[in-house]
């Protein structure tokens, strides 16, 4: 189980983070940008759990941090989707290039 070094887990989570960054850079649709943000948050969670498992196996703080991050991410996704739907209702578009005003 511990035959995998910690650095390999960190490499893979870094790759996941930058895949999410690539999506955030290239996409111009609000829903797909939200998906990229979810990928980024997941890579952070993996890091927390891996650090907890390998460096401080007698504590639980990393597990708690990842649980709270999951909760905050769920709330963030819900609010973001409410905003997106409201934006679509007023603008008929969820492209970030076409949303130039915050007032409807």
Partner 1 sequence: MTASQIIFYLISAFVLGTAVLAVTTQKIFRSAIWLLFSLVGVAAWYFWMQVEFVAAVQIIVYVGGVVVLIIFSIFLTQQSGSEMPKPPLKRILFSLLAVLFGFAFSYRIIYEYGFTPAIPAKPFTVPVSAIGEQMLDTRQYGFVLPFEVVSMLLLAAMIGCIVIAMKTVPKGKTVQKHIPPIGTNGSGKLITESKDLQVEEKTT
| Subset of residues 62 to 91 that bind partner 1, contact rule: CB under 8 A | 63-64, 66-68, 70-79, 81-86, 88-89
Any contact of residue 98 with partner 1 (CB under 8 A)? Answer: no
Largest Cα–Cα separation, the chain: 56
Any contact of residue 96 with partner 1 (CB under 8 A)? Answer: no
Report, in Å, the least distance between residue 35 CB and partner 1.
5
3-state secondary structure of 103: coil
Compare residues 21 and 100 and give the one whose CB is closer to partner 1: 21
User: How far is Cα 36 from Cα 17, in angstroms, rounded to an integer?
Assistant: 9
Report, in Å, the least distance between residue 103 CB and partner 1.
13
User: How far is Cα 95 from Cα 45, in angstroms, rounded to an integer?
Assistant: 29
Provide the phi-psi class of 95: left if phi over 0, else alpha when psi is between -120 and 50, else beta. Answer: beta
Report, in Å, the least distance between residue 98 CB and partner 1.
12
């Amino acid at each position: 189980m511990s035959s995998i070094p910690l650095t390999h887990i960190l490499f893979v989570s870094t790759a996941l983070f930058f895949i999410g960054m690539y999506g955030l850079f290239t996409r111009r649709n609000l829903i797909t940008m939200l998906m990229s943000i979810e990928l980024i948050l997941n890579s952070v969670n993996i890091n927390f759990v891996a650090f907890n498992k390998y460096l401080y196996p007698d504590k639980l703080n990393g597990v708690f941090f990842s649980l709270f991050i999951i909760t905050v991410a769920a709330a963030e996704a819900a609010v973001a989707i409410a905003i997106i739907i409201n934006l679509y209702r007023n603008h008929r578009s969820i492209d970030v290039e076409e949303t130039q005003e915050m007032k409807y």
